[in-house]
Amino acid sequence: MANEKLSLNIHRAVCYIVLVLLTLISLFPFIVLVINSTRLHSEILKGFSLLPGTAFLRNCRNLFTDDNIPMLKGLANSVYISALTAFLTVYFSAMTAYSVHMYRFKGRNVAFRFIMLVMMVPPQVSALGFLRLVIKMHLMDSFMPLILPCVAAPVVFFFMLQYMEASLPFEIVEAARVDGSHEIRTFNTIILPIMKPALAVQAIFSFVTSWNNYFMPALIINSKDKKTIPIIIAQLRSAEYMKFDLGKVYMMIFVAIIPLMIVYLILSRHIIKGVTLGSVKG
């Protein structure tokens, strides 16, 4: 009995050590980013250091006072595009999944397979045709081509459908219909609250994907005031050698990930609540 208890404690200690090491490895790039954002360009060139520097405010001032880098405008543009993209993606994907899950209409299987087929097509394959469509519709240098196509998100639809099949009983919707609730009201007031964990997960993924998107904005956006964060970072990295400042680059990347952390902290509580609620019900 004592040997089994000792073996269990050793096994648990090894698991904790491995988990701590994996956590440190995952956090190491972020630690390097934070430390380098406090160091000067000359200090960064000397090599890695675990001790933070004293140039945090200087790098921050250099970043936000540079007329060639519209950082605040870029942050506002990226937040606007990413927030709308995340909302439209999760809402309409959940609505599409709800219709496929709840209704047994003719052609349902065909529609599902078509959506799955679209999911297999890489975005780069249709980029040229999409760009020509944008030009013909006179939407170049506009945010609309970056937001509206996100209404159709096959991957998010598939995730929502799987979640509904696992956690959405037909009886709830039927009871709402008996009480006289129309479909839109049922979806907005009953289905969406049940789907909060799935919505939060996909909203995080959609926000991050849109925030990091460089390919399409670089093709569509031309105006300086409409550039997004990835374009501004790429612009700064391509600066001349004499004007290149690693401290400013690290500071920009550090500032750029702050909205992502805020979104995750806000939405992650819905994920935790959903997991806790599911375990209690189970």
Q: Examine the domain organization and report whether 261 and 242 are in the same domain.
A: yes
φ/ψ (deg, to 5) at 69: -125, 95
Q: Examine the domain organization and report whether 46 and 145 are in the same domain.
A: no
Per-residue pLDDT for the chain (282 aa), expressed as one digit of tens each? Answer: 666 777 778 888 889 999 999 998 988 888 888 999 899 888 888 888 888 888 888 989 888 888 788 888 999 999 999 999 999 999 999 998 988 888 877 878 888 888 888 888 877 778 888 889 999 999 899 999 999 988 888 889 988 988 888 888 888 888 888 888 888 888 888 888 888 888 988 899 899 999 999 888 988 998 888 999 998 888 876 655 556 778 888 898 899 999 988 988 888 777 665 444 443 344
Q: Examine the domain organization and report whether 160 and 21 are in the same domain.
A: no
Q: Examine the domain organization and report whether 128 and 231 are in the same domain.
A: yes
Final residue belonging to a domain, choices 55, 71, 93: 55
Euclidean distance between CA atoms 17 and 262, whole angstroms: 29
Final residue belonging to a domain, choices 11, 32, 55: 55
Q: Examine the domain organization and report whether 155 and 257 are in the same domain.
A: yes
- Name the residue with tokens 């543009």: 77
Euclidean distance between CA atoms 260 and 30, whole angstroms: 13
CATH code at 219? Answer: 1.10.3720.10
- Name the residue with tokens 């409409």: 226
pLDDT at residue 243 in the model: 63
pLDDT at residue 101 in the model: 85
Q: Examine the domain organization and report whether 162 and 221 are in the same domain.
A: yes
pLDDT at residue 277 in the model: 44
Q: Examine the domain organization and report whether 252 and 158 are in the same domain.
A: yes
Final residue belonging to a domain, choices 14, 37, 55: 55
Please tell me the pTM assigned to this model: 0.84
pLDDT at residue 245 in the model: 79
Q: Is the dihedral of CA 270, 275, 276, 281 positive or negative?
A: positive
pLDDT at residue 207 in the model: 93
CB 40 within 8 A of CB 247: yes
Q: Examine the domain organization and report whether 27 and 127 are in the same domain.
A: no
Q: Examine the domain organization and report whether 31 and 141 are in the same domain.
A: no
* Cα–chain center distance at 29: 19
- Name the residue with tokens 């700064």: 236
Euclidean distance between CA atoms 270 and 194, whole angstroms: 11
> Around Cβ 4, how many Cβ atoms within 10 Å?
8
3-state secondary structure of 193: helix
pLDDT at residue 83 in the model: 94
pLDDT at residue 193 in the model: 87
CB 75 within 8 A of CB 225: no
Euclidean distance between CA atoms 273 and 209, whole angstroms: 24
Total tally of structural domains belonging to the chain: 2
Distances (CA, A) of 18 to 3, 4, 10, 26, 72: 22, 21, 12, 12, 40
Q: Examine the domain organization and report whether 17 and 81 are in the same domain.
A: no
Q: Examine the domain organization and report whether 274 and 232 are in the same domain.
A: yes
Domain membership of residue 156 as a residue range: 61-281
Q: Examine the domain organization and report whether 204 and 119 are in the same domain.
A: yes
